[in-house]
Structure 1
Amino acid sequence: MKRSCLLACLLWLSLPVMALADAQIHGVRMWNAPDHTRLVFDVSEQVQHHLFALHQPHRLVIDFDKSVLKTRLKKDQLNNRHISGLRYARQPDGKLRVVLDLKQSVRPRSFMLRPSGQYGHRLVIDLYDRGEKPTVVQTVKKTPGSGKGRDLVIAIDAGHGGEDPGARGKVLKSREKDITLAIARRLKKLIDATPGMRAILTRKGDYYVGLRKRMKIARRHHADFFISIHADAFRNKKARGSSVFVLSNRGASSEAARWLAKKENASDMVGGVSLDDKDDVLASVLLDLAQTGTQAASLRAARSVHREMGRIGKLHGHKVQNAGFMVLKSPDIPSMLVETGFISNPGEERNLTSASYQTKIAKAIFKGIREYFNAEPPLGTRLAMEKHKHQAPAAKYVIKRGDTLSTIAQRHRVSIADLRNENRISNDRIRVGQVLRIPST
């Protein structure tokens, strides 16, 4: 009796294992980014797959192990600069084969994503141009130059995008990625319409950009400031208000450790100085100096934006907050992250999806940034030249033993803030023999 029960149990246990052996493929979506095409297959679980390319004509073959297709793939929607069509069939060995007909040779990359939000398991396949050359960006380097001066460059980062929708609204089902892009575009228009300023977007459409790549885009354009735009969410739908964040000291320390660990990479720069030929101590000092100045500038600008955001609506925090957000970790570019409101709050969701309120947010961020840079324009920019063209040349003062910034400011009847701004000083440390420029009163 015991033996028959044991056999029956073993037979029963074997049935679901066989039934669950095949992963289910529920569909495919395509996203177009400037530098690649992304295909996303929705699958029921982690799936084993193999990629290989064929030529004359160009094709990419995807073999799925132990997988079954649960719906017809929409072939007509997969047509862009890389893909002309899609075919699929079951192979004699039981594998499901998907063939992408290509318009050109590509460099494929694939990886799995775990369930997140509204999505389950996903297989992601990115197609890059074969032998693609780096995108040439027309920029003006951060040098004083001559004549009119360079434009001030603001990098605007619309959070999320593509396969990552961000937070979702409960009532209107709005998506954070759409709201952030709409506000980013409005902010860009305001900045571009201001003489001496121009803006660049880290993403221009509905596609995903990696967090570190967003930082690299800003650095490639020699951005003077980086603003990341988001919309918050919380389980309590009554939570409301906007917030402004800068990088925490802990986040800065962890990023400094990462940079120092990879300082042999020639592309890792701090203020235009390569770390690859510096010893550990000197590299650490250079990075610390860069981060200290960057964090101080970030905080001053963030306070200005925080004040303006408070004039158009409720603030979630009474002051600028600190966090370790990845997009704020660039050591050489002052940065802030603006949570424009709670998309999980029905009232704020309606506001965030309103074109007029999006414009109010963009204007508030713009006013805060403009106020900061009118007071502290970077050297060599058109704004700096406009500010100083009517001022008398700054006097010079050599620091003596016993001097402090406070006594020097009092002696020359200028504010400590103006003294700091004129000399690009972020704290009160000065040294004997240092030459300070005294701003005109």
Structure 2
Amino acid sequence: MPRPPLLRTKPLSTNRRRTILKAGGTLLLSVFAPLSASAAQILAVRVWPAEDYTRVTLENDGDLKATHFMVPDPPRLVVDIDGLALNDTLKSLVAKIESNDPYIKQVRVGQNRPNVVRLVFDLKEAVKPQVFTLEPVAGYRHRLIFDLYPMKPADPLAALIQERDWTTGDAAPQSQSGAPEAIGKLETQAAGANGTPPAAPVKPTPAPAEPRMACCNMPKVTRMVTIALDPGHGGEDPGATGASGVHEKDIVLAVARRLKAKLEGHPNTRVMLTRDADYFVPLGTRVDKARKVQADLFVSIHADAFVERSARGSSVFVLSEKGASSSAARWLANDQNKADLIGGVNLANHDRQLASVLLDLSTTAQISDSLKLGSAVLKEIGGINRLHRGAVEQAGFAVLKAPDIPSILVETAFISNPEEEARLKDDAYQDQLADAITKGIKRYFAANPPMAKSRMA
């Protein structure tokens, strides 16, 4: 059978082939471009575990919408994120969950359906989740936040009491120098005047006596003194960053830990840290924690940064009701008050009214006592570092607004100054700072002994 004739085609010209290929490529782009444009990209994932709560942050290049629900027995948090494509950065979240996380056992990540990613948090216990978004601020892009809180919020006072076996007797631990001090023990120098003998003989010390917490015209009072130390920033809020890359949040936490150990080396003194690890604490929560433990003092610790690297020196600030004492103090207060924006506060649960009430309730007496405390601490710090200004400054720092607690903010040094940054990183200098602040607090109590409280833990 004869074969049918072959169909011969004329070869395409080079220009015609280019036209067809270009048209085909345009068609493919038109089909897939809407899909790729609608999918946000995860830029970074971070996990901040702490006893107070665990925070998980997804930083992305666009605003994300998420829904979530809890599944009991075993407890799980399920989160569906719309408009998101699974990528390696998001997958890395699995490896970021640490075994010591108080609330998260593990996390599973998967593409639940097109443009929807599902996260499943396997939990160690039931939690109260808060899921919210944050607008771009500072160096951050859009953030999707998961805060996992315990069902029963932590009680700062209960935690403080359980931390150790507190004692109110003279057998309490001695300070590192060996000199017996009783920061919280008020003892009249003439106890025999009212017929009450002293509880125990006082042994003379060979070294010159440091300021004691005593008042000549008061009856003997023995009680615990509680000091709240507030290491600034933390977690999503790094604070200022030095030229070498060291963060303010890490420096001030190290100083606060040293200061806590030194203060607790004295009898009748206990110390609460508003944060004891690298996590974010809102400004109002820091104040609230101090009030819940009935703190006698509140000391917030920071490290300055300024646009000019030549700026240097230590400072102490207290609250002002009438405006800042200088333009620099005003600038610094405004900068520090941005912590909630950078650290990330859930505005749905943020009590703005409470914050304004705290300022309204701040009394002249509180500010007066704060100035006395600040002057005592500033004098001691001046012995180890140059002072940026020779007097205590005032400005509207949100973290100093406890109406009933003398409160100061210590700027230890300028982390933006290379020389001072190097000192702040040095263990010996951190120890000197802690010593100086301790001596300042003792000096303050020597002249302003704490009164007996009707409420005692």
TM-score (norm 1): 0.70
1:40 to 50, 57, 75: 57
| Aligned counterpart, 1:160 | 233
What letter is aligned with 1:34? E
Structure 2 counterparts to residues 286-365 of structure 1, below 5 A: 287=361, 291-365=363-437
Q: 1:250 to 1:48 in 2, by over 3 A?
A: farther
The residue aligned with 1:75 is 94
Aligned to 2:298: 226
| Deviation readout 1:215-274 (Å, 9 max, x if unpaired) | 11111111111000000111211111111100011479xxxx956986xxxxx8x9xxxx
Aligned to 2:15: none
C-alpha distance in structure 1 between counterparts of 2:126 and 2:422, whole Å: 45
Deviation, 1:102, is: 1.8
Structure 1 residues 304 and 151: CA distance shift in structure 2, 3 A: same
Distance 1:207 1:328, change over 3 A: same
**Stretches of 4+ moved more than 4 A in 1?**
12-19, 131-136, 257-262
2:103 and 2:323 map into 1 onto residues whose CA distance is 39
Q: Distance in 2 between matches of 1:191 and 1:133?
A: 24
Which residue of structure 2 lines up, in the alignment, with residue 414 of structure 1? none
The answer (yes or no) to whether the contact 1:40–1:122 under 8 Å persists in 2 is yes
Q: In structure 2, give the amino acid aligned to 1:101.
A: D
Aligned to 1:65: 82
- Report the equivalent of 1:22: 39
One of 122, 141, 164 as aligned partner of 1:120: 141
Deviation at 1:103, TM superposition (A): 2.4
Q: What SS class does the counterpart of residue 67 from structure 1 fall into? A: coil
What is the alpha-carbon distance in structure 2 between the residues aligned to residue 297 and residue 204 of structure 1? 27
Q: Which residue of 2 aligns with 1:151?
A: 224
Give the superposed CA RMSD.
Answer: 3.2
- Assess, with a 3 A threshold, how the Cα gap between structure 1 residues 261 and 355 changes in structure 2: closer, same or farther: closer
Residues 364-395 of structure 1: CA deviation (Å, up to 9, x unaligned):
111111111111101238xxxxxxxxxxxxxx
Give distance in 1, aligned partners of 2:157 and 2:315. 35
Does residue 106 of structure 1 match 2:127?
yes
8 Å CA contact retained: 2:315, 2:412: yes
**How many residue pairs get matched?**
342
> Match for residue 185 of structure 1?
257
State the identity as a percent: 42
In the TM superposition, residue 198 of structure 1 has moved relative to its aligned partner by 2.6
- CA shift for structure 1 position 179: 0.4
Quote the offset at 1:350 in angstroms: 0.3
* 2:87 pairs with 1:87: no
Q: Distance in 1 between matches of 2:41 and 2:305?
A: 32
Q: Which residue of 2 aligns with 1:277?
A: none
Query: Would you say 1:244 and 2:316 are equivalent positions?
Result: yes
CA deviation profile, 1:42-93 (whole Å, cap 9, x unmatched): 2122211111112233221111111123323242331433222222222335
Find out whether 1:195 has 2:212 as its counterpart.
no
| Cα pair distance change 1:134/1:204, threshold 3 Å | closer
C-alpha change, 1:372 and 1:88, in structure 2 (3 Å) is same
Structure number with larger C-alpha Rg: 2
Structure 1 residues 13 and 135, CA, compared in 2 at 3 Å: closer, same or farther? Answer: same
CA distance in 2: counterparts of 1:152 and 1:136, whole angstroms: 13
- TM-score computed with the length of structure 2 as normaliser: 0.68
Which amino acid in the other structure matches residue 52 of structure 2? D
